[in-house]
Amino acid sequence: MTLIKSISGIRGTIGGRAGDTLNPLDIVKFTSAYATFIGKNKKSNVIVVGRDARISGEMVKNVVCGTLMGMGYDVLNIGLATTPTTEMAVTMSGAAGGIIITASHNPRQWNALKLLNSEGEFLTAADGAEVLSIAEREDFEYADVDNLGHYYEDNTFNDKHIDEVVKLKLVDVEAIRKAKYRVCVDAINSVGGIILPQLFERLGVEYTILNGKADGDFAHNPEPLEKNLSGIMDEMRTGKYDLGIVVDPDVDRLAFICEDGNMFGEEYTLVSVADYVLGKTKGNTVSNLSSTRALRDITRKHGGEYYAAAVGEVNVTTKMKQCNAVIGGEGNGGVIYPEIHYGRDALVGIALFLSLLAEKGCKVSEIRQSLPDYYIAKNRIDLTPQTDVDAILVRIKDKYANEQVNDIDGVKIDFEDKWVHLRKSNTEPIIRVYSEAATVEEADALGKELMQIVYDMTKQ
């Protein structure tokens, strides 16, 4: 059983002993710490709470909401909602912050508290560290009986989110409607099964939803990778659809499947949407260090500058603000379009991609063929309690000192025609090893080579 405390919040498996897992006692402690932090400079007495459809979500929501009320905050519960919907609800309601109850792509036994500031954005590293410090000190003061918070429910934010998406200047609703697209969607039995049909109705898109029951009983591993998506890929091969769409349980990650049933590639979600946006809005882009070089190539083609950020949405959005990026995100299928808000948003990605598809008047596979061709291999090294990850990364950096090395987040080694990135995961007890090259075989070989070097180092 696992409990991971990081700057981005608290994440863990359900059940077990206090301090070891995500359980009611620890939920109270970290919710109280967050409320204490927000109270230092609060602009409102309201905190928004939204959740995905995980089986444990109802339990966690009840504990979170009760704790916030005990801290004297009014709770605005928006119910089953995507991560981007909850982010936007914070700013729309003028709240002091928000808590999203979701473990994103983690399996069904996991859940988490993701913490937002008053801008509806994830806490910075410094702010997240302060929340953890408050939690460790257990420096909380609860409200007396006359100052307890109130509880409200508002289930209108899905519609409000979609309103903002379809109003975007680069979302061509008329062209999408005229194209009469047929899409197949894997909603993993979470909140995508609620909001995506509403989006498609507004866009005039005919849709089939697989795994659309929002009961949290995930039909397969929820990470939107090819190895987990045989069901929708087989359905796409029937030839009945123009586009396949896959989201994770909280709908901030987005992957496409071509009309022939082949993967578009989650790395290319952002690249394709950026190509469309940059063709109409000149500017810069940002993605994290583990994302494909294709975004850099596309950005330069349009006369912009590409910048790399450390892994993590808050790191990407911070960099985007610094360099005035018009679009950015992460190679895991996360599209961040500041025109609507600074957060990964699958609804925005879908609407912009359908606009691109309508403008081109071609097949999805043809769009993929028009983009720079790279292949990423994603491997992992499971950690043991004895593993000194930081020491290993320093040794890797020293070993490749003659190459272009970036150490703002783990170690990334840039060779002339390929790269490899090793970093300690913020959400799982592993080292992620991402590598990219001209072929999948070469990319995988590069990753495996670095993994073997790490294994050899741990034996010394």
Which residues are part of the catalytic machinery?
104
Instruction: Tokens for 16, please give them.
Output: 């077990």
Q: Is 382 helix (H, G, I), strand (E, B) or coil?
A: strand
Neighbouring CB atoms inside 10 A of 136's CB total 11
**Angle (CA) 344 223 13, round 5°:** 100
* Calpha distance 261→332 (Å, rounded): 19
What interhelical angle do 157-166 and 346-360 show, nearest 10?
A: 30
DSSP SS3 for 258 = coil
3-class DSSP state of 17: coil
CA distance 96 to 177: 38
Q: Give the bridge partners for 376, in sequence order.
A: 436
Contact 18, 26 (CB under 8 A): yes
Contact 19, 5 (CB under 8 A): no
**CA-based angle 375:317:302, to the nearest 5?**
55
CB half-sphere exposure, 46, CA atoms < 13 A:
16
* The residue count for the chain: 460
Q: Output the DSSP codes for 314-351.
A: HHHHHHHHHTTEEEEEETTTEEE-TTT-SSB-HHHHHH
Tell me how far the alpha carbon of residue 269 is from its chain's centroid: 13
Residue 380 and residue 395: Cα distance in Å, rounded?
A: 18
Q: Give 73's DSSP letter.
A: P
Residue closest to 304 by CA, chosen among 288, 339, 280: 280
For residue 302, which of 338, 276, 335 has the smallest C-alpha distance? 276
- Specify whether the CB–CB gap between 114 and 122 falls below 8 A: yes
Q: Are 250 and 191 in contact (CB under 8 A)?
A: yes
Tokens of 351: 């609407």
